[in-house]
Amino acid sequence: MSDEGFPVEQIDTSRPHPARMYDYYLGGWDNYEVDREAADRVIELFPSIRPSARANRGFLQRATRFVTEQGIRQIIDIGTGIPTSPNTHETAQALSPEVRVAYVDNDPIVAAHAGARLTGTGNTGFFLGDVREPETILDHPTIRELIDFEQPVALLLVAVLHFVTDKEDPARLARILGDALPAGSYLVLSHGTADFFPDGSQTKAAKVYEGATATVNLRPHAEILPFFDGFDLLDPGLVQVPLWRPAPGDPVPDADELRRTGTFYGGVGYKA
C-alpha cells in the first residue's frame, strides 16, 4: 500500500542521514560510508549511543504492545527510520492482526525498503512525509485510507522531535498532530537528552549531526514534557526509556546500566 515511487538520485549520499546512522547504531547494513563515518565519530565521542539506541528500540516495542493491549487498532508511526525487525506492525499484529499501521519518514531510502519490510500486509502503508509539515501528513491519501479519525489512534513520535529545532517549534507540531486524534488515543514519544551526561560528551557527539541532513537538538526533561500537552501522561511518567514499564522478567536496570542508556526520555500519554 505504498505509492512512493522516486528516482534513485533523490537518495542523498553526500551527507549523513540520521535514520541511516541510527540503523548503523543498531547493527544494520542499510547505510552508506558517509553515514558510517559520521556514526563512528559519534560512537568515539559518546560510546553510550549504541546501547541507548537499543534501549530506545525496546521502549518502542513495549509501548506498541501496551497500546495494542489497550485496544488500539490503528497506529501512525512518524519518523519510522530504516526498518529493523520486529517493526511496529509486526509487534502490534502479533497481538492483533487487524491493527493498521501508517508509516511516515522523510528519507527516500526508507521508502526503498518499505515494500519489502513495512507494507507486506494489507493493513500497512508507507509514504514520504516530514513531521515539520503535520497538515500534509494528516491529509495524505495513505493516512485517509488506513486511519479512521473517528476511532482511537496511537501516534508514535519515537526519536524524531529532537531533529526539529526550537525555531521549528516541536511543541506546536506535536500539538497539531495530537489535536487531530479523538478521545481514547495515545501518544508514544521518546526524545534525546543530555540530562544524564554532565561531562558534555553527548553534546559534543550531537555536533557531528551539524553536517548531516538534520541536526540533533537535545532537550532537558522540562522542555520535553510540553510535547504531551493534551494527553494525560501515564505511569511511570516521562522517564529514561529502560525504566518505562520493563517487560516481566527483564532485569531492573541498575545505575550503571542507566548511565549507559540514558540518552532518551520516553513516555506514553492518553487523550481522555
* Residue in the structure block whose three cell numbers are 501515564: 234
How far apart are alpha carbons 241 and 267 in whole angstroms? Answer: 8
Q: Identify residue 180 by its one-letter amino acid code.
A: A
Task: Assign 3-class secondary structure to 114-165.
Answer: HHHHCCCCCCEEEEECCCCCHHHHHCCHHHHHHCCCCCCCEEEEECCHHHCC
For 223, counting Cβ atoms within 10 Å of its Cβ (0-12 exposed, 13-18 middle, 19+ buried), the class is: middle
Instruction: Give pLDDT, residue 2.
Output: 42
How far apart are alpha carbons 225 and 256 in whole angstroms? Answer: 25
Integer CA distances (angstroms), 249 to 30, 65, 97, 257, in order = 32, 16, 25, 16
Residue ranges and CATH numbers for the domains of the chain are: 12-270 (3.40.50.150)
DSSP letter, residue 85: S
Q: pLDDT below 70 — which residues of the chain?
A: 1-12, 113-121
The pairing of beta strand 232-233 with beta strand 264-270 = antiparallel
Instruction: Give pLDDT, residue 6.
Output: 46
Instruction: Give pLDDT, residue 112.
Output: 73
How far apart are alpha carbons 23 and 84 in whole angstroms? Answer: 8
Integer CA distances (angstroms), 120 to 40, 100, 102, 130, in order = 33, 12, 12, 23
**Torsion over CA of 169, 272, 154 and 212, rounded to 10 degrees?**
10
How far apart are alpha carbons 193 and 198 in whole angstroms? Answer: 11
How far apart are alpha carbons 91 and 63 in whole angstroms? Answer: 10
DSSP letter, residue 234: P
Instruction: Give pLDDT, residue 1.
Output: 45
Instruction: Give pLDDT, residue 10.
Output: 57
How far apart are alpha carbons 236 and 229 in whole angstroms? Answer: 17
Closest to 88 (Cα-Cα) out of 154, 150, 4: 154
* Residue in the structure block whose three cell numbers are 520535553: 224
Closest to 74 (Cα-Cα) out of 189, 186, 181, 153: 153
H or E segment and range at residue 64 = helix 49-69
